[in-house]
Amino acid sequence: MKLYDDLVWRGLIKDFSSPDLIDKLNNEKLTFYIGTDPTADSLHLGHLSSFLISKRLKDYGHNPILLVGGGTGLIGDPRPTAERDTIVKEELFRNTECLKNQVQRLFGFKVVNNYDWIKDISAIDFLRDYGKHFNVNYMINKDIVRRRLESGITYCEMSYMILQSLDFLHLNKEYSCTLQVAGSDQWGNITAGIDLIRKKTGQEVYGFTMPLILDKFGNKFGKSEGNALWLDKNKTSPYEIYQYLVNTDDSKVVEYLKVFTFLSHEEINKLEEKVKTEPEKREAQKALASEVVRFLHGEEELQEAIKLTECLFTGNVKELTDEEIEMVFKGMPTIETKEDTIINIMTNNDIASSKREAREFLSNNAITLDGEIINDENYIITNNKKNHIIRRGKKKYYLITVSYTHLTLPTT
């Protein structure tokens, strides 16, 4: 199957600038670019789909360039709702370096920074050499700009379109770049760049966009949406990525398999059938989570994520370290307590409303401590681990941090 047909099958093309692009994607070797502004020190899952599309183009023989917007990041791409917060230069430059290292490690793309060619352009040159090619009526008819007209949009934000177009022109001149790839919210900026290059050089260049990838609630994967899953494992652990994806809704999992993995059509079709016939096995979700974590963090981190997931599913956390318990139960309210009997811990921390209710839970085998059933109301945790999990019934978990009064130090 040709590249374009594969991209269409995976649902990865929304808009494209010319029918000629189909043949060029299938039969030529294009230099193309994808851009991101360094508003954070890591990419997140919302970026991953775009970068994986770029990798698909690279694997097919096209030449990718990642543009990190050290210059455009100082301005901020217009949002549909309000102007972005301004980021100080020092933070932006630090983020730029982090993104460069991350992208080169994961994807092996050439990385450029548009601050390098924007910083020396004077205001007069900017207006004379570039601004005069942009019709204001054309600019305000772009979707995001038009949506902001009632609430107000600044000239600074309006200028972003010109800067991104300037980027395309610069890369065209310096690297013979003839294609820009981006999310569908960048379509107006892409077409503006195509127009600028045509006016300045007479050359025909191209662009295509990908649909934005949404969660089951219709929200973008992004830090502005409050649901960012970072590709940096120090910000979002491989276990958290795995957990999120393994819990993907049946209605979204096949879409995500096409977008986020390099599984073949045949493999994805088989998993789609499993979703229909044996949804309880969640084979598609497990494949999705495994493929993404393995790609981002490697086999060892994947196996660790699977181990932690199994411990969460079984409730058997006895063998987990304090650090692993904190990772698995991240976000769960933590109860800090001194060394005490299980019944006192339960009643003093609202695990049970009274000692009588606590005794009922204990006698009915409804209380487990680190995966083991506890019946003795006078049971005292005596090992040296700081973190423990009390589970009440099937779904109520409590993270208990114990400070011991008489610690027994391990022998050496």
Nearest to 106 by CA among 28, 162, 40, 51: 51
Cα distance between residue 134 and residue 158, in whole Å: 11
Answer yes or no: is pLDDT of 376 > 60. Answer: yes
Compute the average pLDDT of residues 319-330: 79
Answer yes or no: is pLDDT of 194 > 90. Answer: yes
Place of tokens 């649909």: 211
Return the bridge partners of 16, or none.
Answer: 208
Portion of the chain with pLDDT greater than 90, in percent: 61
Radius of gyration of the chain (CA): 27
Answer yes or no: is pLDDT of 148 > 80. Answer: no
Answer yes or no: is pLDDT of 412 > 80. Answer: no
pLDDT value of residue 407: 46
- How many Cβ atoms sit within 10 Å of the Cβ of residue 214? 14
Q: Are 22 and 266 in contact (CB under 8 A)?
A: no
DSSP string, 268-279: HHHHHHHHHH-G
Residue pLDDT, tens place only, 76-127: 776 656 556 677 889 999 999 999 999 999 999 999 999 999 999 999 999 9
pLDDT value of residue 334: 81
Answer yes or no: is pLDDT of 408 > 50. Answer: no
Compute the average pLDDT of residues 203-218: 90
Residue pLDDT, tens place only, 283-319: 999 999 999 999 999 999 999 999 888 877 776 777 7
pLDDT value of residue 409: 42
Sequence letter at residue 342: I
Cα distance between residue 219 and residue 380, in whole Å: 46
pLDDT value of residue 411: 42
Cα distance between residue 261 and residue 265, in whole Å: 11
Residue pLDDT, tens place only, 54-86: 999 999 999 999 999 999 988 877 665 655 667
Sequence letter at residue 180: Q
DSSP code, position 77? P
Q: How many CA atoms lie within 13 A of 31 on its CB side?
A: 13
Sequence letter at residue 38: P
Compute the average pLDDT of residues 274-285: 96
Find all residues with CB under 8 Å of 284, minimum gap 6, and list them: 250, 253, 254, 257, 271, 272, 274, 275
Compute the average pLDDT of residues 14-26: 96
Which of 54-58, 344-348, 369-373 is the least confident region?
369-373
Model confidence at 395, pLDDT cuts 50, 70, 90, reads: confident
Q: Are 346 and 353 in contact (CB under 8 A)?
A: no
Cα distance between residue 208 and residue 4, in whole Å: 11
Helix/strand/coil percentages in the chain, nearest 5: 50, 15, 35
Compute the average pLDDT of residues 180-208: 94
Which of 56-60, 253-257, 333-337, 354-358 is the least confident region?
333-337
Model confidence at 389, pLDDT cuts 50, 70, 90, reads: confident
Answer yes or no: is pLDDT of 209 > 90. Answer: yes
pLDDT value of residue 397: 81
Compute the average pLDDT of residues 157-185: 93
Average pLDDT score, the chain: 88
Nearest to 48 by CA among 225, 227, 243, 295: 295
Cα distance between residue 306 and residue 170, in whole Å: 46
Give the tokens for residue 341.
């009997």
Residue pLDDT, tens place only, 216-273: 888 776 554 455 889 999 899 999 999 999 999 999 999 999 999 999 999 999 999 9
